[in-house]
């Protein structure tokens, strides 16, 4: 797990849970590879790691990614980091998450908005700023009064990834239960959306990788122009 994924996971739990809660948390794609969201959760919670394979951090092994072995309306928080891009039909997985969440339940989703091709066992998708809106609309189309509480694209630090972060509430009746957001405080991000506002905060037309590429090209052009002028 890369550096910003761990940071955003920690910020999620700080914003949407407390250290006194005793919540049931299901982590989809939970295998600990250089870190796990489990390490960022408060210790009193019942934390259940779900994955296809046996490994560190995995409590439940599944063979059908679109059938989670939990009762309907039984889970407080569902979290998933660097997993939905490997789900061929992630919209079906989203509905299964909605099923198992309590009406006041929350889904935290971290999926790449850029990055290299990495099969596990497939690599199908990247998520852009409107992806959270689309998933919430998909939930409504299937009978859930779910809402997108917030979403944004995080900035790179030491690794190559720009994380798309989204937080969903299963039932809008419980909006008052969650007054805080990950984005509260000092956080670098682009293309932020938050429930109750129509504008995009820190709008950016370009991805961070694209900005770097164009800046590098611009510097090369300026350097070439200076060289030409110096010899003319």
Rounded to whole angstroms, how far apart are CA atoms 86 and 72? 24
3-state SS assignment for residue 152: strand
Query: Is residue 47 within 8 Å of residue 41, measured between CB atoms?
Result: yes
Query: Is residue 164 within 8 Å of residue 158, measured between CB atoms?
Result: no
Query: Is residue 64 within 8 Å of residue 40, measured between CB atoms?
Result: no
Residue range 88-112: mean pLDDT, rounded? 97
- Dihedral angle, C-alpha 170, 123, 83, 103, nearest 10 °: 10
CB within 8 Å of 31: residues ≥ 6 apart: 49, 51, 53, 55, 56, 57, 58
Query: Is the entire prediction scored with pTM above 0.85?
Result: yes
- State pLDDT tens for residues 19-38: 888 999 999 999 988 889 99
- State pLDDT tens for residues 142-195: 999 999 999 999 988 888 889 999 999 999 999 999 999 999 988 999 999 999
Query: Is residue 61 within 8 Å of residue 54, measured between CB atoms?
Result: yes
- Dihedral angle, C-alpha 204, 83, 23, 62, nearest 10 °: 160
Query: Is residue 51 within 8 Å of residue 29, measured between CB atoms?
Result: yes
Q: How confident is the model at residue 39 (pLDDT cuts 50, 70, 90)?
A: very high
């Amino acid at each position: 797990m890369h550096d910003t994924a761990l940071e955003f996971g920690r910020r999620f739990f700080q914003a949407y849970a407390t250290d006194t809660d005793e919540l049931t948390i299901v982590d989809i794609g939970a295998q600990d590879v250089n870190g796990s969201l489990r390490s960022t959760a408060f210790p009193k919670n019942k934390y259940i790691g779900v994955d296809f394979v046996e490994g560190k951090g995995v409590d439940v092994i599944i063979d059908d990614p679109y059938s989670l072995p939990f009762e309907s309306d039984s889970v407080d928080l569902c979290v998933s980091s660097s997993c939905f891009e490997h789900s061929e039909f992630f919209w079906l997985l989203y509905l299964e998450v909605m099923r198992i969440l309590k009406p006041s339940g929350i889904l935290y989703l971290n999926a790449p908005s850029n990055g290299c091709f990495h099969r596990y066992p497939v690599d199908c998708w990247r998520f852009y700023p409107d992806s959270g809106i689309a998933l919430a609309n998909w939930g409504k189309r299937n009978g859930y009064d779910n809402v997108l509480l917030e979403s944004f694209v995080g900035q790179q630090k030491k690794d190559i990834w720009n994380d798309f972060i989204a937080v969903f509430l299963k039932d809008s009746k419980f909006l008052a239960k969650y007054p805080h957001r990950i984005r509260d405080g000092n956080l670098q991000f682009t293309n932020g959306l938050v429930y109750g506002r129509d504008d995009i905060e820190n709008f950016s037309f370009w991805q961070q990788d694209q900005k770097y590429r164009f800046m590098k090209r611009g510097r090369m052009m300026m350097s070439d122009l200076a060289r030409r002028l110096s010899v003319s």
